[in-house]
Structure 1
Amino acid sequence: MGLFGFGKKKSKKEAEPAVEAVDEDEVAAETANEQAKAESAETTLAEPSSAYEGRGDERGPWDVDDENVPDYDDYLDLGAYYLPFMQGIELRIKANRATQTVLGSTITFGGSSLEIEAFAAPKTMGLWDDVRADLLEANKAASEIEGVFGTELRLPVNVKGGKVVNTRIVGVDGPRWMLRGIFSGNAAVNPEHDEAKALNLFFSGIVVERGEEPLAPRDLIPMHPPVAPAERKAAKAAAEAAANEEGKEHLKDIPDNKPKGPLNYDQQTEVKTTLARGPMFSEVR
């Protein structure tokens, strides 16, 4: 199973309707027409590949500075990353109770869930290989598998009541960041399940914003409570309006000396011109 990413946008073109035919040439023409119709979709998904080919070209997760990053104006802003919208999901925010600091988010879809966290990474190398090795060393029940996002981990987790929950842990390296996803439910154990495919696609659509703040490797990238697209657009408009007013503060201090009431013939303007003699110069020969 390969990575489902976002393909490049293509122009809309209606293929000519196929003509009913019985010979091989016209059957081939009809097949070509059907392929043209498939390619005319406004947005197409990249074909699954047998091996993970990385992110940043036609596949995500994305960085805000990627050349082919999808338009995320209508995504949910959480600070460290932008989440695409998908019908039927539920969002829960993970936060520190003492400080109210947002630490991550969890998406629930049907009987599956996806926990998402974004970490700072070194400039010159990825982080996922080291994190995966640490998880393998700390959890003897963990095992590596080749999945949609390259080398992933299967990790059974013991929860309250003696129940064991199977999880699938994914890590994707980007420029100075690593995005980690922890899948559970059907999305963790059955790669062909509709919930697994939907959450894989959702994870690949996330857009990460690392920011310029100095952070140590493995530090969580700072997050904030969710900001909806309408709120973000309103804040942007307000900021632009405030910027347009900058440099005009001095105009507020100019007194308004306009005469009150209508002008009449009793109001006159007096103009005075005063001539003053300048300094005298003497020429000595």
Structure 2
Amino acid sequence: MGLFGFGRKRAKTQAEEDIKDQEDKSKELDKSKDAEESTEQSDLTSETDRDETAAEQDEAEQSGQGPWDSMDPEAPDTDEYLDIGALMLPFLQGSELRLKANSQTGDVLGATITYKSSSLELEPFAAPKSLGLWDEVRADLLKANPSCKEVDGVFGKELTLPVKVKGKNLLTRVVGIDGPRWMLRGIFSGPAAKGGKEKDVLDGYLADLVVVRGDEPLAPRDLVPMHAPITPNQRRGEAEDSESKDDESAQIPGKPEGPFDSDQQTEVKTTLSRGPMFSEVR
């Protein structure tokens, strides 16, 4: 009996120890689950934060991206840009500029920048003051061209449009940017229509471009007037010539005509010494 009774106590003690071990293991599992849930929540929070940060960065980059309006205080300095009227074109090493003109009137209808095997055709249009024009133009192109597709791109909603050139189907990429009373349409062809280095270069070129809308009243979709290129050196030369002509045409009020005698010369000298008049002939 004694042995039996001892055995029961021992069995009871062992059972209590097993229960305690089980409880300890259960607590450890609960702690482990809590830690995992906390880690997962932290990862989700971090991922959400990263997504929000990336979205904010994308929005910031897009808001500070051209093409620019000439009246925008943040627009790039155009002193070294090529002036073709409605557009101020940045310099791009290795590029060529071709202007499309009306054969009868000579009016410039568009400009094409060629860079390596790619090209970018530019056309600035007048737009309503309160509404953009690109949404409407894009809808018209989609309706008229069943093979045209709308995609998201660097400049917002873009179109991919296959065109037939010399019997071959070539892919083009059409972008539109709305500005104050203008819309600029750009048509990329060649490798720049798909991707790669040439696309990046011409995208950057378009983003640095400045549009000069002017005050001339124009109907929506009318081309904003362009002209033959004026280089930075030509602009500087014209400015210097204008200043020179202004200096030559400056007149002294009341200056006598013909040969001077001594009294007249004295009178002129006295007149030049009277404050404001001196600045007119300096």
2:231 is matched with which residue: 208, 223, 228?
228
* Equivalent residue letter for 1:116: L
Select 1:254's aligned residue among 244, 253, 256: 256
Tell me the CA shift for residue 246 of structure 1.
5.7
**TM-score between the two structures when normalised by the length of structure 2:** 0.69
Q: Which secondary structure does the structure 1 equivalent of 2:258 belong to?
A: coil
Aligned pair in 2 of structure 1 residues 119, 49: CA closer, same or farther (>3 Å)?
A: farther
* Secondary structure at 1:226 match in 2: strand
Which consecutive segments of 4 or more residues in structure 1 shift more than 6 A? 47-50, 52-55
- Is residue 63–residue 175 contact of structure 1 (8 Å, CA) maintained in 2? yes
2: CA distance between counterparts of 1:48 and 1:96? Answer: 45
CA contact (8 A) 1:51 1:150 kept: no
Alignment TM-score, normalising by the size of structure 1: 0.68
Gaps of 5+ in 2: 1-53, 263-282
Shift of 1:49: 8.3
DSSP 3-state at the match of 2:229? coil
* The structure with more radius of gyration: 2
Amino acid at match of 1:122: P
**TM-fit CA distance, 1:59:** 1.1
Residue in structure 2 matched with residue 163 of structure 1 by the alignment: 168
Counterpart code for 1:74: E
**Within 5 Å, which residues of 2 pair with 1:57-96?**
58-96=64-102
* Percent of residue pairs identical: 52
- Between the aligned partners of 1:109 and 1:149, the Cα distance in structure 2 is 20
Unaligned runs of 5+ in 1: 1-46, 264-285
Instruction: Give the drift of 1:111.
Output: 0.9
Instruction: Kindly report which structure 2 residues correspond to 1:66-145, keeping only aligned pairs within 5 A, or say none.
Output: 66-145=72-151
Alpha-carbon offset, residue 203 of structure 1: 0.5
**Cα distance, 1:155–1:54 mapped onto 2, change above 3 Å:** farther
1-side partners of 2:187 and 2:56: how far apart?
A: 22
| Contact persistence 1:91–1:105 (CA under 8 A) | yes
1:9-24 paired onto structure 2 within 5 Å:
none
User: How many residues were matched structurally?
Assistant: 209
What is aligned with 2:159?
A: 153
Deviations 1:185-236 (A, max 9, x none): 100022xx10000000000111000000010000000000000000011112
Paired residues for 1:40-51 under 5 Å:
none
Query: Is 2:183 aligned against 1:178?
Result: yes
Q: In structure 1, what is the Cα distance between the partners aligned to 2:60 and 2:180? A: 16
SS at match of 2:241: helix
Contact 1:106–1:113 (CA under 8 A) maintained in structure 2: yes
Structure 1 residues 179, 52: closer, same or farther in 2, change over 3 A? farther
Provide the rounded CA distance (Å) in 2 between the counterparts of 1:153 and 1:49.
25
Q: Secondary structure at the match of 1:224?
A: strand
* Partner-residue secondary structure (3-state), 1:154: strand
CA contact (8 A) 1:169 1:182 kept: yes
Map of 1:28-43 to 2, 5 A cutoff? none
- Deviation, 1:170, is 0.4
Q: Supply the AA of the counterpart residue of 2:227.
A: H
RMSD: 2.4
Cα offset, 1:125, TM superposition = 0.8
Partner SS for 1:225: strand
- Cα drift, residue 137 of structure 1: 0.8
User: Could you say which residue in structure 2 is the equivalent of 1:206?
Assistant: 209
Q: Distance in 1 between matches of 2:191 and 2:199?
A: 6
Deviations 1:154-198 (A, max 9, x none): 0001122x11111000000000001110000100022xx100000
- The structure in which a higher percent of residues are helix is 2
Q: Aligned partners of 1:173 and 1:118: how far apart in 2?
A: 10
User: Could you say which residue in structure 1 is the equivalent of 2:33?
Assistant: none
Inter-partner Cα distance in structure 1 for 2:183 and 2:55: 22
